Amino acid sequence: MTIFEIVKTSINTREAAERYGIDVNRYRKALCPFHNDRHPSMNVYDDHYHCFACGEHGDVINLVARLYDLPMYEAAQKLAYDYAYHRTSRPPRKWRKN
């Protein structure tokens, strides 16, 4: 299995969104972090997200790539590391705070 397959089958988009600071309500709605949103317009499901205001959509890897401005592979690595699906004991230098 590739890192993309492992991450997509193992990590829930809603859980990842909440872990990275997006407050998802019980109706699966959230304020979209990709535009100035005052009313929840983003639906966050277990396997994907979609914002009806700006049209942003994707899976868990797309969400993290967009939130942290990372390439897809590095977003998958970040998710794998943050959810303990990693092979190294330290995060890549780019994500460390020093």
Query: For 3-34, what is each residue's pLDDT tens digit?
Result: 899 899 999 999 999 999 999 999 999 999 99
Is the sign of the CA dihedral 18, 21, 22, 25 positive or negative?
positive
Q: What are phi and psi of 52, to 5 degrees?
A: -80, -15
pTM for the model: 0.85
Residue 38 — very low, low, confident or very high, per pLDDT cuts 50/70/90?
A: very high
> Position of tokens 């089958």?
9
Average pLDDT, the chain: 89
The Cα–Cα gap between 72 and 63 comes to: 10
pLDDT of residue 84: 83
Structure tokens at 19: 């872990």
CA 94 to chain centre: 17
Residue 2 has pLDDT above 90, yes or no: no
